Amino acid sequence: MGDIVVAKPKEGGGSSSTIKCPMLTTTNYTVWAIRIKLLLKVHKVWDAIENDSDVREKNDMATALIFQSIPEALVLQVSDLDTAKKVWDSIKSRYMGADRVREARLQTLIPEFERLKMKDNDTIDDFVGKLAEISSKSTALGENIEEYKLVKKFLSSLPRKKFIHIVASLEQVLDLKTTTFEDIIGRLNAYEDRVKEEEEAEETQSKLMLANNESQPTSNSYNQGYNNYRGRGRGGHYYNRERG
């Protein structure tokens, strides 16, 4: 990971802060683009790419930040481009492919999104991560998945046996068209934690009952043996007296 130094010093003086930014690889373009975009916004130079600004200082700053987070071989390939937008678009086209390739990728993502279901052994966070990954890929390809669609897909993909009651409650009390995805995730996480606590309590209770049941026969066997011993002892005693 490269260290990108923030241009503006901290308030009140002091040295500049450092932001960790991932180096672009053949497999992390989507995440890389998200982080670099945020970094450019922090430095107030994102409009050099978004609006193709011709302000020299902004172009130079944006280009410099991008160059610090791409491999040397790629720097050599795009170094002749004279604006930050051209550099950005060139990198994007290399990693995202042409329009036809991008459209083909979208066509594979849509069925993947529709088929996605939460497995019984998945946690809420596991499943949310899968949804978010597909959503991020789709956004990078130029197709935003609307938030209400994420909410609807999320609730409809949960295992019914485990979550049917909370889903039914949310559908009754919330307007799912305006409810944020983060709000739904928070509610389901809280419900999952509560269910987990109850399951752990039931498991502990079952173990205690099992332990008590296993110890009970041992005690009865001991008492039975002791009573038999006493009975045999008394019988032997009287028998000896009668013989005497």
- List the domain boundaries for the chain: 2-96, 99-181
Q: Is it the case that residue 110 has pLDDT exceeding 50?
A: yes
Which has the closest alpha carbon to 53: 79, 91, 90, 86? 86
Nearest to 186 by CA among 174, 172, 198, 202: 174
What pLDDT is attached to residue 238?
A: 43
Residue 5 three-state SS: strand
Q: How far is CA 144 from the centre of its chain?
A: 19
Greater confidence (217 vs 153) lies with 153
Write the CB contacts of 191 (distance below 8 Å, at least 6 apart in sequence).
163, 166
> What letter represents residue 138's amino acid?
S
Alpha-carbon gap, residue 191 to 188, rounded angstroms: 5
**Beta-strand runs (E) in 42-193:** none
Of 185, 126, 183, 177, the closest CA to residue 154 belongs to 185
Which pTM does this prediction carry?
0.56
Least confident segment among 73-87, 158-172, 191-205: 191-205
pLDDT digits (tens, 9 = 90+) for 45-79: 999 998 877 889 999 999 999 999 999 999 999 99
% of the chain with per-residue pLDDT over 90:
48
pLDDT of residue 63: 93
pLDDT, tens digit, 9 for 90 and up, residues 3-30: 554 444 445 544 445 666 778 987 788 8
Angle at which helix 29-42 crosses helix 124-140, to 10 degrees, equals 80
The pLDDT value recorded for residue 27 is 75
- Please compute the mean of the pLDDT values over residues 183-197 and round it to a whole number: 91
Average pLDDT estimate for 132-137: 91
